[in-house]
Amino acid sequence: MRIRVDADRCVASGVCAFTAPEVFDQGDEDGVVRVLQAEPPADQHEAVEEAVVGCPAQVISIE
């Protein structure tokens, strides 16, 4: 699994950081998504998939 984000379209809702905090964070100034682990370990895959589905701007994708 490899994560890609389109940070330019991020609406800073925080769903990703709340759902998978070991993989995603938000910028302090703008709240925009930050990827902490572009290739997360298998035990984080389910949380990442939930974050993808829950993202209101649909800016997260998995390869």
Distance CA 62, CA 31 (A): 21
DSSP H helical ranges for 1-63? 15-19, 45-54
55 CB-near residues (< 8 Å, 6+ apart): 13, 15, 16
Structural domains in the chain (count): 1
Provide the whole-model pTM. 0.93
- Give the range of the structural domain holding residue 34, as residue numbers without chain letter: 3-62
30 CB-near residues (< 8 Å, 6+ apart): 12
Other C-beta atoms closer than 10 Å to the C-beta of 34 total 16
Note the pLDDT of residue 7: 95
**Tens digits of per-residue pLDDT, 23-40?**
999 999 999 999 999 999
CATH number of the domain bearing residue 7: 3.30.70.20
